Amino acid sequence: MKEWYFDDIPLNQPMMTRAYVVTEAELVSFARQWDPLPIHVDPEAAKASPHGGLIAPAIYSVAVANALADELDPRFVAIGSADWKVQFAVPVRPNDRLIATSECVYKRQSRTKSDRGITRFVETVHNQKGERVLTWESTILVARR
C-alpha cells in the first residue's frame, strides 16, 4: 500500500471507501461489550423503542467509519489525532451497507515541529438509501518527509 506524507495529501479531493455491510451479529456483539443498552442488544426491546428496531451504538458507527478510512490507498502517515467532531444523522442498523467519502479540507505545516503537518479530514458515511449516517471531522498530525 502506498503511503502519503503531509506534502503528498491533496486538498479537496474526496476519496471513496469500499462498502461495508453491518451484520446484526457483529452489531450486537460489539454492543454487548461496549454499550449494552436494550436498543443495541435486544431486538424485542428495540422494536418497542422510538427507533422501531435495533440500532448500532454511536461508537460502533465511528469504528466502522475509521476502519473504512484506514483502508484507503494511499494511506497517510499519521502521527496522531488531535481533535474529533462527530455528527450523527440517522442510526446505523443491521444489514446497512455503508460507504464513506474522506477528504482533506485543510492542511498546514506545524509551527513548532518541522517533522509534521496538521491536516483536517472530513469523512461522510452514507447508507444504502443514500442517507447520511454520520459526518466525522478529524484533525490529524501527519509526518513530513
pLDDT of residue 27 exceeding 90, the answer is yes
- What is the CATH superfamily name and number for domain 3-143? Hotdog Thioesterase (3.10.129.10)
Phi, psi angle pair for 30, to nearest 5°: -60, -50
Give per-residue pLDDT as tens, 102-137.
999 999 999 999 999 999 999 999 999 999 999 999
Q: Which residues pair with 124 in a beta bridge?
A: 101, 135
- Please give the Cα distance from 29 to 60 (Å, whole number): 11
